[in-house]
Structure 1
Amino acid sequence: MPTVKFLRLPGNDDLALPSYATAGAAGFDLRAAVPAGETLVLAPGKRALVPTGFAVGLPEGWEMQVRPRSGLAVKNGVTVLNTPGTVDCDYRGPVAVCLVNLGEEPFAIARGDRIAQAVIAQAPQAELVEVADLDETARGAGGFGSTGVA
């Protein structure tokens, strides 16, 4: 099991440490670190980079994938724009979440609101090589929709 280290950034002593909501949860919650007493209103069709109040230290060979929370997506149309967002193991800056409102109503984000979830996954670096040709497969070069609808 990897150890993930969180560095609380200045001014965020009141925010809860990211945590798993249940014993079987694959992802842990990330919360909004909007300024205290303020609300960020995300208008329909708009996006915002929402800080979490933490930086993260991941072990080599691991990544943190930032994903939408299903409840926000289903109930409000709010999702993570670059899903999944990847935090690399060598990044040590502030973690923020790019949210987009695909719903029809403005969506308010207050300090401490759960805005996304993160999953820790292995991310080994592969050897990247150039070749003259690729091996044949049954699918071949068939792309988007080439395997049918049903």
Structure 2
Amino acid sequence: MIARIRKFLHDQRGSSALEFGLVAPLLFLMLAGFLEIGRAYVQAEAIEKGLRAGVLYSARSGEPASEGVLGTAFNLVRTGTLDGAGPLLASNWARPEARLTASFATAPVGQSSVPVVRFTAEVPFDPMVPGLVALAGVAGFTLTLSHEQAYVGR
């Protein structure tokens, strides 16, 4: 009987499967985390490109603070189209907490100042697996991005 127990304890068959079974959940969690980080980066890039297009449109228009220009610029930011008929550039724009604001200021350049148009977007992160982000302790974070452009008018 003792010989059988000794033989069982020294048997190496199946040890790699057992090790993989112990390590696999950690590997899958790491992979899912990297995918979520990548998704946040892609969402931020889509929002930033939309912001850039909207600010450029507004800064090159005759009256950047008018309702018509801001409405068209905000459509560009959210959908990439002038009329807002296209799909959203980032799915998280559909969430009610998503905000887009425009501000107008001046920036000093040498001895003079230049008017500047600035758009700021505060958009909640839209994870693939909401529970996984909550498990990591970073649930409910917001992507905050802004872009500014000197006003050049027409």
TM-score in same-fold range (> 0.5): no
Q: Structure 1-normalised TM-score?
A: 0.24
Larger helix percent: 2
Higher relative contact order (CA 8 A, sep 6+): 1
Q: Structure 2-normalised TM-score?
A: 0.23
